[in-house]
């Protein structure tokens, strides 16, 4: 297993409906952790890169109702 972290910026803070949908993303095989940073308006996802790619992670977040933009490059 190769774990990577992807960070995405979002516009609107997630509400109750979106947070419930995020709980279902945690059930997806390969997703290990999801963290929100309200001050920076970012969401950080740790995932198994041997199971999925960053684009699939962004798609899961969008399906949950999170309006993520592009991935932020981590140094």
Tens-place pLDDT, residues 13-71: 999 999 999 988 888 888 999 999 999 999 999 999 999 998 999 999 999 999 998 88
Q: Are 5 and 44 in contact (CB under 8 A)?
A: yes
Q: For position 5, what pLDDT does the model report?
A: 94
Burial (0-12, 13-18, 19+ Cβ within 10 Å), 17: exposed
**Is the Cα dihedral 43, 60, 10, 19 positive or negative?**
negative
pLDDT greater than 70 at residue 75? no
Return the structure tokens found at 9.
């910026």
Domains (range + CATH), the chain: 3-72 (3.30.70.100)
């Amino acid at each position: 297993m190769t774990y990577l972290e992807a960070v995405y910026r979002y516009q609107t803070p997630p509400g109750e409906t979106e947070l419930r949908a995020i709980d279902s993303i945690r059930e997806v095989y390969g997703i290990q952790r999801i963290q929100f940073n309200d001050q920076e308006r970012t969401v950080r996802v740790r995932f198994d890169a041997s199971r999925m790619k960053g684009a699939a992670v962004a798609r899961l977040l969008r399906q949950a109702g999170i309006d993520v933009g592009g991935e932020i490059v981590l140094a």
